[in-house]
């Protein structure tokens, strides 16, 4: 059983994001980049399935600039067996990424795709669902537990009312939620080994995919700054403020 794990290079979650002065996007110059946290969870789950003897190979895939090789090496340090980079300097949007992943799936023939539910840069939460639709595979999103048995994936997913358990046939697409697992730290020996693991590079044209952007970003702006809070002496004053100042009552 082969598992394919898409990984995305994003601004590190510890970094305070700054908007460019002209409002055209986010400033990533000299900013620390790392693997999308939800994708780390996906890699960890795939590696755990391999360690349990369920999977035989874990393949990490990334789409974007050449620097995404670092993200793939990080995935291989966690335990992925090899990496695939679809290299392009075009701004990739969810549908384009889904099409690239579909082409990679056609080439690699994985039994399962485990992806992060969303990337922390655009928060689109679309690529996994689009990939499942393009491949005509069953999907289970927001997985908090994943069990593979008898040719099926049993997925416990978080919904508004609690938990829902689905049984889907393979091949399939599963997207991960935060509570699925806690990713391990890559050890120094594994980081060194990852440098020697195979990494194949393709261009979108090699896969027959047009990645021309379909959406245009008109403007990027920081959220308005919150005003300072105010202490009140008692409930009566609080109600008065809510009625006459905030006007929410």
Instruction: Determine the average pLDDT of the residues in 88-96.
Output: 93
Mean per-residue pLDDT over the chain, rounded: 93
- pLDDT tens figures, 112-150: 999 999 999 889 999 999 999 999 999 999 999 999 988
Detail the DSSP E strand segments found in the chain.
2-6, 9-11, 33-35, 57-64, 82-87, 112-116, 139-149, 152-159, 162-169, 172-176, 199-202
Give the pLDDT confidence score for residue 104 in this predicted structure.
96
Superfamily of segment(s) 2-222: HUPs (3.40.50.620)
Is residue 92's pLDDT more than 90? yes
Is residue 171's pLDDT more than 90? yes
Tell me the three state secondary structure of residue 114: strand
Domain ranges of the chain: 2-222
Is residue 56's pLDDT more than 90? yes
Is residue 224's pLDDT more than 90? no
Is residue 21's pLDDT more than 90? no
Instruction: Determine the average pLDDT of the residues in 97-102.
Output: 96
Is residue 69's pLDDT more than 90? yes
Q: What is the C-alpha separation between 77 and 92, in angstroms, rounded?
A: 25
Is residue 22's pLDDT more than 90? no
Q: What is the C-alpha separation between 39 and 61, in angstroms, rounded?
A: 11
Is residue 191's pLDDT more than 90? yes
Is residue 39's pLDDT more than 90? yes
Give the pLDDT confidence score for residue 97 in this predicted structure.
96
Give the pLDDT confidence score for residue 6 in this predicted structure.
97
């Amino acid at each position: 059983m082969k598992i394919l794990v898409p990984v995305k290079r994003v601004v590190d979650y510890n970094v305070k994001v700054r908007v460019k002065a002209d409002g055209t996007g986010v400033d990533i110059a000299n900013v620390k980049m790392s693997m999308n946290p939800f994708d780390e969870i996906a890699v960890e789950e795939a590696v755990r399935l391999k360690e349990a003897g369920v999977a035989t190979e874990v393949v990490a895939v990334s789409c974007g600039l050449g620097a995404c090789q670092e993200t793939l090496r990080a995935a291989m340090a966690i335990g992925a067996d090899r990496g695939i980079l679809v290299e392009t300097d075009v701004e990739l949007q969810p549908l384009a990424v889904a099409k690239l992943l579909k082409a990679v799936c056609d080439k690699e023939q994985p039994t399962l795709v485990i992806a992060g539910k969303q990337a922390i840069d655009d928060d689109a939460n679309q690529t996994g669902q689009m990939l499942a639709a393009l491949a005509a595979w069953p999907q289970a999103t927001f997985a908090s537990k994943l069990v593979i048995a008898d040719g099926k994936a049993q997925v416990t997913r978080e919904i508004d009312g609690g938990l829902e358990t689905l049984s889907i046939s393979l091949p399939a697409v599963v997207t991960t939620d935060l509570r699925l697992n806690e990713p391990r730290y890559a050890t120094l020996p594994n980081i060194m080994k990852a440098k020697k693991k195979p990494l194949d590079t393709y261009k979108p044209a090699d896969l027959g995919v047009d990645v021309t952007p379909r959406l245009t970003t008109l403007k990027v702006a920081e959220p308005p700054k919150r005003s300072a809070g105010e202490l009140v002496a008692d409930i009566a004053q609080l109600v008065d403020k809510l009625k006459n100042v905030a006007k929410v009552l």
